[in-house]
Structures are given as structure tokens and as C-alpha cells.
Amino acid sequence: MPDQRSTKWQQSYPELYAELTPAQQQALDQTLGSHALDGMEPDRDLVSDLVDWITGKIDEATYNERAAARAHRSSTTG
């Protein structure tokens, strides 16, 4: 049974959340919530990129490049 305190993103991507501290998990949830409020449904690619940025696996420039590529793909397919 899922933890009642976990968010839908934590339930959808537990393997990505596993490498984050509780404070990082909270920051990620807040960021994803903001995206959702802006009308964007966060998907695995976005969550993975945010986790990579939060944990220092990628820098901000790389994150922004990936975000721009996602936006471009979205605009050409939808």
C-alpha cells in the first residue's frame, strides 16, 4: 500500500526519489507542483532531469538544454 504522505510523483517514480534526501524530495515536489499548476503534466523525463540537476549529475545549462528540447518536441507533436 502506498505511503499516504507520498505525492503522486513519488508513487510514480520511486526509483528517482530514492536517491534524494527528504529536503530534496520536498523541493522536487514543490517544483513539480508548480509545473502542474502551470498546466504542464510532469513526466518521467522531466522528473529524471530535475533529479539529475538536484543531485549535481548535470549542471543548469544542461538542464536548460534538455528542457528546451522537451519544449520543442512538445510543440511539434501537440
pLDDT of residue 6: 81
> Which residue would you say has higher pLDDT here, 76 or 66?
66
Q: What's the whole-model pTM score?
A: 0.84
The predicted pLDDT at position 71 comes to 86
Give backbone dihedrals phi and psi of 33, rounded to 5 degrees, phi first. -60, -40
Is 61 within the bounds of a domain? yes
65 part of a folded domain:
yes
Range of the domain at 61: 48-72
Condensed to tens digits (0 to 9), the pLDDT of residues 6-65 reads 899 999 999 999 999 999 999 999 999 999 999 988 999 999 999 999 999 999 999 999
> Is 62 part of a structural domain of the chain?
yes
Q: Is residue 59 part of a domain?
A: yes
In whole angstroms, what is the distance from residue 57 CA to residue 13 CA? 18
Cβ(67)–Cβ(40) below 8 Å = no
- How many domains is the chain built from? 1
pLDDT of residue 1: 46
In-domain check, residue 52: yes
Contact present, 70 and 42 (Cβ < 8 Å): no
